[in-house]
Amino acid sequence: MKFFVDSADLEQIAYLNDIGLVDGVTTNPSIIAKSGRDFIEVIKEICAMVEGPVSAEVTATDADEMIKEGRILRAVADNVCVKLPLTMDGLKACKVLSSEGTKTNVTLCFSANQALLAAKAGASFISPFIGRLDDQGLDGMELIEEIRTIYDNYGFETEILAASIRNVGHIKDCALVGADVITSPPDVIAKLSQHVLTDKGLAAFLKDWEKTGQSIL
């Protein structure tokens, strides 16, 4: 499973990238707005840092305007992936941009029917929002399973990019049901390494080593 970082924080992205935990990055206007920096410049810097796809979202709602914005965004770097909303206009823009060879990420997916449409439109990625479904008392993981079954049934190449990740349990469950990609805040990815028994074991090892009075250095 690929790990995408859902962030525009260059320092956090670089930290995880150096460990080999960044296969791509997802952003949106809200995330970049928090940085107070120029949208295009932030995208350009992230693209230069990571090798994988970097999702940059359009802000238009009309198909023709989305296509125009998408073409501007894809010119920023070769690894830009244009992020589009799951509306009929967004699907139209997806079809056009995908046919031109641009990677596309169709976002704000909340049903298997929507995911089916995105695959038909040629999306590179579909982004089901599992955390937001959980917030409504629904089962976000069930949606991932449904999309996986549909895509496998018909051989769609669109990758399932599980979004709205809230905790490490979401990441584990996505891996179990076969999501191709997860996109997560940096702190949730870092928490995957944490376990109370690891901490206790390390503390015991260090205590025993200290008693020896030795040093490897």
* Contacts with 37 (C-beta within 8 Å, 6 or more apart), sequence order: none
Closest CA to 45 of 10, 83, 72: 10
Q: Which of 2, 44, 68, 83 is catalytic?
A: 83
Helix (H) or strand (E) holding 79: none
Counting Cβ atoms within 10 Å, is residue 217 exposed (0-12), middle (13-18) or buried (19+)?
A: exposed
Active site annotation includes 95: no
Longest dimension (CA), the chain: 71
Question: Is 78 strand, coil or helix?
Answer: coil
> Residue 109 phi/psi, 5° resolution?
-95, 130
Residues annotated as catalytic are 83
